[in-house]
Structure 1
Amino acid sequence: MGNVVFSILWLIILIFVGFWIAGIAAGFYILIIPFTVCIEALTGLTDFLLLVVQFPRYCAQAMMEGKGFN
């Protein structure tokens, strides 16, 4: 296990930032994804939004490993 202080910081980021940002991005992702069939240029945007939706997973993984901010 890594540094406990970093684990606590990642937990705080997960709760106060990660869930909120991912929730907002998920809403936009759901609204935009059907239009990618007609407008192929939106594919890059939806790929980025999917990465943002997965941000809480990154926070949780970093929290469990006690990873620093590098």
Structure 2
Amino acid sequence: MADLCPGILWSILWFLALIFLGWPIAFLLAWIYIFLLPFGACIDPIKDICEAILKVIKLPFTFAENMINMKPLF
């Protein structure tokens, strides 16, 4: 039982990070990504920017994986 407690605390911290950081940032950048994506077809630097934004949009997925696996925050 004592081994499970730190994992549950880490999961709670990951959940809070997901709610207060991951989702708001991903929602904001998703709009920018959707706006820039068509221009990435003809402008190469924008394509690279879109790839970088997509990695940030995947933050909620990373936070959720870490929450399920009960990984330490740092």
Query: Which TM bucket (shorter chain)?
Result: over 0.9
Aligned residue in 2 for 1:48: 52
The two structures have a TM-score, normalised by structure 1, of 0.92
Q: Secondary structure at the residue paired with 2:71?
A: coil
Q: TM-score, normalised by structure 2?
A: 0.87
Whether 1:66 and 2:70 are equivalent positions in the alignment is yes
| Moved >6 Å (runs of 4+) | none
* Runs of 5+ unmatched residues, structure 1: none
Q: Quote the Cα distance in structure 2 between the aligned partners of 1:44 and 1:36.
A: 8
- The structural deviation recorded for 1:65 is 0.5
Structure (1 or 2) with the larger CA radius of gyration = 2
1:3 partner SS: helix
SS of 1:68's equivalent in the other structure is coil
Q: Is 1:15 matched with 2:16?
A: no
Which amino acid counterpart does residue 38 of structure 1 have in structure 2? C
CA distance in 2, matches of 1:60, 1:69: 12
2:50 paired with 1:31? no
Instruction: Return the alpha-carbon distance in structure 1 between the equivalents of residues 49 and 70 of structure 2.
Output: 31
Q: Please give the alpha-carbon distance, in whole angstroms, between the structure 2 residues aligned to 1:62 and 1:42.
A: 30
Instruction: Tell me by how many angstroms 1:10 deviates.
Output: 0.2
Question: Which structure 2 segments of 5+ residues have no match?
Answer: none
Shift in Å, 1:41: 1.1
Aligned residues: 70
